[in-house]
Amino acid sequence: MTDAQAPGLADRQAALVRALVAGEAVPAGFDPAAVGAAAHALRHKRAREVAARHPELVHATGPDFTERFVEWARNRPKDATAADALRFARECGIPWPPSRPGFLAPVSRLLRRLRSW
């Protein structure tokens, strides 16, 4: 490959990645069905990652978490898993993260003791 061909290849690769993860059009020369299947699989993988790390979000969403997340992710590139979870919950109106009363109380007590010393 010559230096003149490299920018064209990089542009095609970037377009393919956008089609896979951001819902953009499949670039010329690629099989739309194959790219669509791969994109679908990647969205399901994202849903599994969020579900594994944040089961309380799955519970808050209800039995259709996977379908809702996959649809939500269709035109949104992946972010970090925690950021994906938070953005999904906020944009779908799901009350999450759950409040945890008393969770920080021991930390607050410890900080007060440290300050008093």
Q: What is the structure's pLDDT at 79? A: 85
Which position has the token pair 């994109």?
A: 39
What is the helix (H) or strand (E) element at residue 30, kind and residue range? Answer: none
As a whole-number percent, the residues of the chain with pLDDT over 90 amount to 68
> How buried is 60 (Cβ within 10 angstroms: 0-12 exposed, 13-18 middle, 19+ buried)?
middle
pLDDT digits (tens, 9 = 90+) for 42-95: 999 999 999 999 999 999 999 999 999 999 999 899 889 999 999 999 999 998
Nearest to 49 by CA among 37, 38, 35, 65: 65
How far out from the chain centre does Cα 5 lie?
A: 33
Other beta carbons within 10 angstroms of residue 15's beta carbon come to: 17
When pLDDT is averaged across residues 3-28 and rounded to a whole number, the result is 86
Delimit the domains of the chain by residue range: 6-116
Residue 100 in this model has a pLDDT that exceeds 70:
no
Determine if the peptide bond prior to 77 is cis (ω within 30°): no
Does the pLDDT value for residue 107 go beyond 80?
no
Q: Is the pLDDT confidence value at 24 over 80?
A: yes
Mean per-residue pLDDT of the chain: 87
**24 contacts: CB under 8 Å, gap ≥ 6:** 15, 18
Tokens of 50: 């969020």
